[in-house]
Amino acid sequence: MRKLSTWPLVAILATWVVLACTKVPILGRHQFNVIPDAILLPLGASAYQSTLSSLKVARKGEEHEMVQTIGDRIAKVAGSQRHDWEYSLVDDTDTINAWALPGGKIALHSGILPVCANEAGLAFIMAHEIGHVVARHGSERLSQQLVVLGGLTGLNAYLDNRTELSTEQQAVVLAAVGVGAEVGLVLPYSRKHEREADVIGMMYMAGAGYPPKQSIVIWNRMKRAGSGSSVPAFLSTHPSYDERHQTLRQWLPQAKRRYERNKLSHDTTETLWQ
Ligand SMILES: [Zn+2]
């Protein structure tokens, strides 16, 4: 029997690897993402709707308006056309948390507002979450989790028919894209992803006209909020203050130059929540 050439297979694999390679904005790190947007984006959108349906979402009011305005300003700086951005403020003063899902779906729990303290602090938290989305961290994590799903076979099963996935496998998919709390399984973003979201967030907030130094001081308030008996949910998946400070300080001079070129005319550091 004639031996089949392996070259076509090698060529297909090489093309697949090239197509699966994406680049993290600002930092330029190459990443391996095998999950196509066609799968991930609808998944993010439906998980967002189902998560919000069990929460009390603010539909009007000053804070709701501010979240929309800041989100639009930062998304404009991010310049990504792939996302259908949506920002929700959840009326939940007991929870210090913010989260993001693929496709540009952002949510903030109102308990985080006193930690933000001012408009610029809120801009950083939103820019950090937008940073996770634009850097495709959910997709990268899901690509890594494919091993748990049984590789591409598992993904195909998911594509063909979601119900073919076991409850456990579905939980892994949802947790990987960031809906861990909902399914009782949290896969924290890695330190690397957190560092990247901090840097991207700082650069984006500066580009949107907010003083980047607020991205550093906010962590002091977050630390104080976490010093009591209840650790903020935002912290349980977002590690290490000293490391964050160090990384943000390294990028501060560059972010300041961006801010000087774009700064907003009103004072965004005036205390609004305490
Ligand atoms: Zn984060």
Q: How far is CA 186 from the centre of its chain?
A: 14
Q: Which residue has the tokens 């130059």?
A: 257
Ligand 1: centre distance to CA 269 (Å): 22
Give per-residue pLDDT as tens, 116-149.
999 999 999 999 999 999 998 888 877 776 655 6
Ligand 1: centre distance to CA 153 (Å): 30
- Taken in order 71, 72, 74, 79, the sign of the CA dihedral is positive
Ligand 1: centre distance to CA 198 (Å): 7
pLDDT reported for residue 169: 59
Instruction: Tell me if 105 sits within 8 A of 178, measured CB to CB.
Output: no
pLDDT reported for residue 165: 53
Average pLDDT over residues 10-27: 67
Ligand 1: centre distance to CA 266 (Å): 28
Instruction: Tell me if 126 sits within 8 A of 197, measured CB to CB.
Output: no
Catalytic residues: 129
Average pLDDT over residues 166-174: 60
Give per-residue pLDDT as tens, 74-121.
999 999 778 899 999 999 999 888 988 888 999 999 999 999 999 999
Poorest-confidence range of 43-52, 82-91, 194-203?
43-52
- In Å, how far are 19, 88, 119, 261, 273 from 63, measured between CA atoms? 41, 10, 10, 27, 10
**Cα gap 143→168, rounded to integer Å:** 17
**Cα gap 137→178, rounded to integer Å:** 9
Nearest alpha-carbon partner for 91 in 105, 78, 110: 110
Whole-prediction pTM? 0.83
Q: How confident is the model at residue 224 (pLDDT cuts 50, 70, 90)?
A: confident
Ligand 1: centre distance to CA 197 (Å): 6
Q: State the DSSP string of 32-67.
A: E--S-HHHHHHHHHHHHHHHHHTS-EE-SSHHHHHH
Ligand 1: centre distance to CA 127 (Å): 10
pLDDT reported for residue 190: 76
